[in-house]
């Protein structure tokens, strides 16, 4: 073995930009290519806008202009502008900024002095212009390196700050901004800052009623059981109602930051809702029955919030202020007083809310009769029928709690048939990837109650494999991947599985855990080179590269792809299409349209949009021409 030296020459110090570029995940979370709303390029956008929002909250600037053209992002606010002598420092020196002065930014999001510096370091091009009282200061950077630093000069524009940047394509591979995700980001800012006008490529985004508008927007066509309850206080605002869906749906925010993973404030909110309702009705209603089908939004502002990561998606702090009450106490007092008073004054809402709780109670008691038997059946099937080929990080789940970092790294493929599951099982990473094998086509569960999950063996076993019977808190796999054949039957199975999750476990989808596994449709090769192609266009390009002398294979099923080849598709090069329910998407409406009775509207859509091209060799319809269930909808 070669001798490994360890001396002074092995010790290296990185400057600020080198460290950010080498370890970007520490600063912005995952990288991604823009396909999901929490990918890094949207975090870069957020870090800049947060500064503009903080200016608005402090009473400076009522308009924020955002433009995205050819991957170049420009944000212009009309706040006070960065002090001209500190422009370069504020965007290129870690732990430099105005937010350490609590008098200037009492309830700010960006307290770590890192955000804009990370944007600078991770951008191929970065420009900042500060305008204050008729003078402007410009600075330009490339990959964090200062390129232009002229002296301040006269500038006949309103006060404020302009930031332009272009994410570095070397770091964000094949990235692309999806404007629907950006618009959704801006709407969140608008709801949390009533009166603020945001513009996205000229389109105005503005809210007058805060979280009330948010819930009305997000439930545009969903039937709510009672009018939205909207309560506001100093540093806190909530809106809530109940629907007909399963699960709980929350939108939570701290100092304008969308805490998608919840945290202290959301836990306190749920706890306070349960306690207030139990006390108001003077009945010991089950917590599950009270929270079932709730849809709510909560926003709080706290001094010096402590988040569990730089991306600020989960609140970990416990205090409102240095000497203030705990967040749990603060939220609890507000809800117990305001919600109780509201229910006393609004008899119809009070009656409708209790009616929804009693309905959930009846459904839960109905399931209880068959639940024990179903659980025993699931335990026996998992042990002896080998439905689930688990990954190693979960083998000891019965004797220890799976570490959070292990769960985040784990995935499960849901397949149909032994051949498909066999290929994936042999090619998978046994440490982090599990496989669940379905037997035949699942039941179309549209319109059925949750009782069917326990009565149907396949659904019951799948529910137990994922450990989501009592909600997402116990979810064993971060990524739930539907892996079906690229043919008509495969598309049908995919649709039935989507219906199952959307009908009974919508939180799994809303929280970004469900994906569609993309496998190549074609293999194009000659004696030297092999290309795997996911579309007709990619196939044609591959044929051109091989100058027409190519053997073309059309993969119809996962079982046709050998395990050795499968390893190419489920490792670092895996292609996953996220199933996204965002904005105004109404799950009830989606399921009714696609899985309900054959309505005239659906017949018309099929006639107008279904074009079947018969492959002369294979004799099957090209996959790209088949109708797809578009769950991802612009807000």
185: domain CATH number is 3.30.565.10
Q: Within this chain, do residues 347 and 446 fall inside the same structural domain, yes or no?
A: no
Q: What is the domain count for the chain?
A: 3
Domain boundary among 147, 176, 201: 201
Least confident of 410-414, 423-427, 590-594: 590-594
pLDDT at 623: 38
What is the enclosing helix (H) or strand (E) of 130?
Answer: strand 123-132
In a domain, 26, yes or no: yes
How far is it, in rounded angstroms, from Cα 192 to Cα 210?
Answer: 6
Q: Within this chain, do residues 459 and 496 fall inside the same structural domain, yes or no?
A: yes
Q: Within this chain, do residues 309 and 451 fall inside the same structural domain, yes or no?
A: no
Domain boundary among 177, 201, 225: 201
Question: Among 4, 155, 174, which residue's Cα sits nearest to residue 575?
Answer: 174
Q: Are 236 and 330 in contact (CB under 8 A)?
A: yes
pLDDT at 618: 38
pLDDT digits (tens, 9 = 90+) for 442-480: 898 888 888 888 888 889 989 988 999 888 878 999 999
pLDDT at 100: 40
**Paired sense of beta strands 63-69 and 197-200, if any:** parallel
Side by side, the strands of the sheet bearing 236-242 are 229-233, 236-242, 294-300, 249-254, 257-258
* CATH number for position 460: 3.40.50.670
Q: Within this chain, do residues 330 and 419 fall inside the same structural domain, yes or no?
A: no
Structure-block tokens of residue 617: 């060799």
Q: Within this chain, do residues 188 and 221 fall inside the same structural domain, yes or no?
A: no
pLDDT at 583: 54
In a domain, 568, yes or no: yes
Question: Among 325, 322, 344, which residue's Cα sits nearest to residue 334?
Answer: 325
Span 585-589, mean pLDDT?
Answer: 69
Span 620-630, mean pLDDT?
Answer: 37
Q: Within this chain, do residues 192 and 219 fall inside the same structural domain, yes or no?
A: no
Q: Could you tell me the pLDDT band of residue 5, with boundaries at 50, 70 and 90?
A: low
**What percent of the chain shows pLDDT beyond 70?**
82
Least confident of 118-132, 194-208, 528-542, 582-596: 582-596
Locate tokens 């007058």: which residue?
A: 208
* CATH number for position 256: 3.30.230.10
Q: Residue 45: pLDDT above 60?
A: yes
Q: Which residue has the higher pLDDT, 523 or 605?
A: 523
How far is it, in rounded angstroms, from Cα 93 to Cα 407?
Answer: 35
Span 133-142, mean pLDDT?
Answer: 91
Q: Within this chain, do residues 232 and 197 fall inside the same structural domain, yes or no?
A: no
In a domain, 328, yes or no: yes
Q: Could you tell me the pLDDT band of residue 136, with boundaries at 50, 70 and 90?
A: very high
In a domain, 374, yes or no: no
Least confident of 26-30, 121-125, 151-155, 177-181: 26-30
Span 50-57, mean pLDDT?
Answer: 88
Q: Are 515 and 479 in contact (CB under 8 A)?
A: yes
Structure-block tokens of residue 70: 């050819």
Spatial neighbors of 213 by CB under 8 A, at least 6 apart, are: 191, 207
pLDDT digits (tens, 9 = 90+) for 56-79: 888 899 999 999 998 899 999 999
Q: Within this chain, do residues 186 and 224 fall inside the same structural domain, yes or no?
A: no
In a domain, 467, yes or no: yes
pLDDT digits (tens, 9 = 90+) for 357-367: 999 999 888 88
Span 304-328, mean pLDDT?
Answer: 60
Half-sphere exposure of 475 (CA within 13 A, CB side): 22
In a domain, 609, yes or no: yes
Averaged confidence pLDDT in the chain: 82
Q: Within this chain, do residues 229 and 306 fall inside the same structural domain, yes or no?
A: yes
**Phi/psi of residue 7, each to 5°?**
-145, -165
Q: Which residue has the higher pLDDT, 20 or 129?
A: 129
Q: Within this chain, do residues 184 and 42 fall inside the same structural domain, yes or no?
A: yes
DSSP percent split of the chain into helix, strand, coil, nearest 5: 40, 20, 40
In a domain, 274, yes or no: yes
Q: Could you tell me the pLDDT band of residue 259, with boundaries at 50, 70 and 90?
A: confident
Structure-block tokens of residue 330: 């603060």
pLDDT digits (tens, 9 = 90+) for 506-542: 889 888 899 999 888 899 999 889 999 988 999 999 9
Q: Residue 370: pLDDT above 90?
A: no
Instruction: Specify burial of residue 437 (Cβ count, 10 A radius: 0-12, 13-18, 19+).
Output: buried
Residue 169 neighbours by CB distance under 10 Å: 11
Per DSSP, the chain holds a count of helices (H) and strands (E) of 21, 23
Domain boundary among 341, 357, 373: 357
Q: How far is CA 395 from CA 229, 384, 390, 433, 516, in A?
A: 45, 15, 7, 12, 25
How far is it, in rounded angstroms, from Cα 349 to Cα 347?
Answer: 6
Q: Within this chain, do residues 439 and 319 fall inside the same structural domain, yes or no?
A: no
pLDDT at 206: 95
pLDDT at 584: 54
How far is it, in rounded angstroms, from Cα 558 to Cα 520?
Answer: 10
Q: Residue 159: pLDDT above 90?
A: yes
Span 392-410, mean pLDDT?
Answer: 65
Q: Within this chain, do residues 435 and 579 fall inside the same structural domain, yes or no?
A: yes
Provide the residue range defining the domain that includes 573: 385-519+555-625
In a domain, 3, yes or no: no
Q: Could you tell me the pLDDT band of residue 9, with boundaries at 50, 70 and 90?
A: low
pLDDT digits (tens, 9 = 90+) for 200-237: 999 999 999 999 999 988 875 557 899 999 999 988 99
How far is it, in rounded angstroms, from Cα 310 to Cα 322?
Answer: 22
């Amino acid at each position: 073995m070669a001798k490994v030296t360890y001396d002074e020459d092995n010790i290296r110090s990185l400057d600020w930009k080198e460290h950010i570029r080498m370890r970007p995940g520490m600063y912005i979370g995952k990288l991604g290519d823009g396909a999901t709303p929490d990918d890094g390029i949207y975090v870069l956008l957020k870090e800049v806008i947060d500064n503009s929002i903080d200016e608005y909250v402090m009473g400076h600037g009522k308009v924020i202009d955002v433009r995205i053209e050819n991957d170049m992002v420009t944000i212009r606010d009309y706040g006070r502008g960065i002090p001209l002598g500190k422009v370069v420092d504020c965007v290129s020196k870690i732990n430099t900024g105005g937010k350490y002065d609590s008098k200037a930014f009492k309830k700010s999001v960006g307290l770590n002095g890192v955000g804009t510096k990370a944007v600078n370091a991770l951008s191929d091009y970065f420009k900042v212009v500060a305008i204050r009282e008729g003078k402007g200061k410009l600075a330009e950077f490339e990959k964090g390196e200062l390129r232009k630093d002229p002296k301040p000069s006269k500038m006949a524009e309103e006060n404020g700050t302009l930031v332009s940047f272009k994410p570095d394509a070397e770091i964000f591979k094949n990235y692309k901004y999806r404007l629907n995700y950006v618009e959704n980001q801006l709407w969140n800012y608008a709801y949390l800052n009533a009166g603020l006008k945001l513009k996205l490529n000229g389109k105005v985004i503005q809210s007058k009623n805060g979280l009330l508008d948010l819930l009305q927007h997000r439930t545009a066509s969903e039937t709510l059981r009672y009018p939205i309850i909207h309560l506001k206080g100093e540093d806190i605002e909530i809106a809530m109602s109940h629907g007909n869906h399963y699960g709980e749906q929350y939108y939570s925010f701290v100092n304008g930051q969308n805490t998608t993973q919840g945290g202290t404030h959301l836990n306190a909110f749920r706890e306070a809702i349960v306690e207030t309702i139990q006390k108001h009705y003077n009945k010991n209603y089950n917590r599950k029955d009270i929270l079932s089908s709730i849809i709510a939004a909560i926003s709080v502002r706290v001094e010096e919030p402590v988040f569990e990561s730089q991306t600020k998606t989960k609140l970990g702090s416990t205090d409102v202020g240095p000497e203030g009450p705990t967040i749990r106490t603060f939220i609890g007092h507000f809800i117990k007083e305001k919600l109780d008073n509201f229910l006393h004054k609004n008899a119809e809402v009070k009656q409708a809310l209790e009616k929804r709780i009693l309905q959930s109670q009846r459904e839960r008691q109905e399931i209880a009769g068959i639940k024990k038997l179903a659980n025993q059946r699931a335990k026996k099937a998992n042990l002896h029928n080998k439905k689930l080929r688990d990954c190693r990080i979960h083998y000891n789940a019965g004797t220890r709690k799976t570490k959070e970092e292990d769960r985040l790294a784990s995935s499960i493929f849901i397949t149909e048939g032994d051949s498909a599951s066999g290929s994936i099982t042999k090619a998978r990473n046994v440490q982090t990837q599990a496989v669940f094998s379905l037997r035949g086509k699942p039941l179309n569960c549209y319109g059925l109650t949750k009782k069917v999950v326990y009565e149907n063996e396949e659904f019951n076993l799948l529910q137990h494999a994922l450990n989501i019977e009592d909600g997402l808190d116990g979810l064993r796999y971060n990524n739930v991947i539907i892996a079906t054949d690229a043919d008509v039957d495969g598309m049908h199975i995919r649709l039935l599985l989507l219906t199952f999750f959307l009908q009974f476990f919508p939180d799994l989808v809303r929280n970004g855990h469900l994906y569609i596994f993309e496998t190549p449709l074609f293999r194009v090769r000659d004696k030297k080179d092999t290309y795997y192609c996911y579309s007709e266009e990619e196939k044609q390009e591959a044929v051109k590269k091989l100058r027409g002398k190519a053997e073309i294979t059309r993969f119809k099923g996962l079982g046709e792809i050998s395990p050795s080849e499968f390893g190419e598709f489920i490792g670092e090069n895996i292609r996953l299409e996220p199933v996204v329910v965002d904005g105004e998407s109404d799950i009830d409406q989606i399921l009714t349209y696609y899985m309900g009775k054959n309505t005239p509207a659906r017949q018309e859509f099929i006639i107008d949009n279904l074009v079947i091209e018969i492959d002369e060799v294979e004799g099957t319809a090209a996959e790209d021409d088949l109708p797809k269930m578009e769950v991802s909808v612009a807000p």
